[in-house]
A and B are shown apart, each in its own frame.
Chain A
Amino acid sequence: MPILTLLVVLAIIAVAGYVLGRRRAMASADGDMRKLHSLPSYYGYNAALTGLVPAALVLAVWTIAQPMVLQNNVSDMITTEVADDGALSLIMSDVRRLADGLDTAVAQGALTPAEAANMTAEGTDVRGTLADVGVALGSEVSQDVLGAAQAYRAGSATGNLIKTVLVLLIAIGGTAFALMKTTATFRARNTVERGVMAVLIAAASIAILTTIGIVLSLVFNTVEFFRLYPAMDFFFGTTWQPSFSGRGGASELGLLPLLWGTLYISFVALLVAVPIGLFAAIYLSEYAGPRVRAFAKPMLEVLAGIPTIVYGLFALLVVGPMLKDVFGGDGALGVAWMTGDRSVITAGLVMGIMLIPFVSSLSDDIINAVPQSMRDGSLGLGATPSETIRQVVLPAALPGIVGAILLAASRAIGETMIVVLGAGAAGRLDLNPFEAMTTVTAKIVSQLTGDSDFSSPEALVAFALGMSLFVITLGLNVFALFIVRKYREQYE
Chain B
Amino acid sequence: MKDLNLTEKSHLMSDTKISAKGVQVYYGDNHAIKDVNVDIEDKTVTAFIGPSGCGKSTFLRTINRMNDTIDICRVEGDILIDGEDIYDPAVDPVQLRAKVGMVFQKPNPFPKSIYDNVAYGPKIHGLARNKAELDEIVEKSLRKAALWNEAKDRLQAPGTGLSGGQQQRLCIARAIATSPEVLLMDEPCSALDPIATAQVEELIDELRQSFSVVIVTHSMQQAARVSQKTAFFHLGNLVEFGETDKIFTNPEDPRTESYISGRIG
Contact = CB atoms under 8 A, between A and B. Distances in A.
Contacts of B101: 380-381
Contacts of A380: 64, 66, 97, 101-102, 104, 175
A391 B120 contact: yes
Contact of A377 (B69, B96, B99, B110): B110
A378 B109 CA distance: 9
B121 A377 contact: no
Contacts of B98: 381-382
B160 A490 contact: yes
Interface in B89-138: 94-99, 101-102, 104, 106, 108-112, 120-121, 124-125
Interface in A361-395: 371, 373-384, 387, 391-392, 395
A230 interface: no
B108 A377 contact: yes
A395 B111 contact: yes
A307 interface: no
Contacts of B208: none
Nearest to B171: A377
A375 B178 CA distance: 17
B110 A373 contact: no
B56 interface: no
B96 A374 contact: no
A391 B113 CA distance: 13
Interface residues of A, number: 20
B71 interface: yes
A396 interface: yes
B111 A379 contact: no
A272 to B, nearest CB: 29
B234 interface: no
B112 to A, nearest CB: 7
Interface in B183-237: none
A381 B66 contact: no
Given A289-B71, A377-B171, A383 B124 contact: yes
Nearest to A395: B111
A375 B104 CA distance: 11
B124 A376 contact: no
Contacts of A375: 69
A395 B120 CA distance: 13
Contacts of A382: 94-99, 121, 124-125, 178
Nearest to A387: B124
B159 to A, nearest CB: 11
B169 interface: no
A19 to B, nearest CB: 56
Contacts of B94: 382-384
B110 A392 contact: yes
B33 to A, nearest CB: 19
B39 to A, nearest CB: 23
A24 to B, nearest CB: 57
B111 A378 contact: no
B162 to A, nearest CB: 14
B179 to A, nearest CB: 11
Grouping DSSP codes into helix (H, G, I), strand (E, B) and loop, the A interface class, with mixed when no group exceeds half, is helix
A378 B125 contact: no
Interface residues of B, number: 28
A377 B104 contact: yes
B168 to A, nearest CB: 12
Interface string A347-372: 00000000000000000000000010
Nearest to A379: B69
B95 to A, nearest CB: 6
A492 to B, nearest CB: 12
Contacts of B66: 376, 379-380
B111 A396 contact: yes
Contacts of B69: 375-376, 379
A376 B120 contact: no
Contact of B124 (A371, A374, A377, A381): A381
Contacts of A395: 110-112
A289 B72 CA distance: 11
Interface string B31-63: 000000000000000000000000000000000
Most A-side CB within 10 Å, residue of B97, B125, B178: B97
B153 to A, nearest CB: 24
Of residues B97, B111, B174, which shows the largest number of chain A Cβ atoms within 10 Å of its Cβ?
A: B111
B98 to A, nearest CB: 3
Q: Which has the most chain B C-beta neighbours within 10 Å: A289, A371, A382?
A: A382
Given A373-B106, A376-B104, A381 B112 contact: no
Interface string A391-424: 1100110000000000000000000000000000
Given A382-B94, A384-B94, 8 more contacts: A373-B108, A380-B64, A380-B101, A381-B98, A381-B174, A382-B178, A391-B124, A396-B110
24 contacts: A371-B108, A373-B106, A373-B108, A374-B108, A374-B110, A377-B174, A379-B97, A380-B64, A380-B101, A380-B175, A381-B97, A381-B120, A382-B94, A382-B96, A382-B97, A382-B98, A387-B124, A391-B120, A392-B110, A392-B120, A395-B110, A396-B110, A396-B111, A490-B160
Interface of B: 64, 66, 69, 71, 94-99, 101-102, 104, 106, 108-112, 120-121, 124-125, 160, 171, 174-175, 178
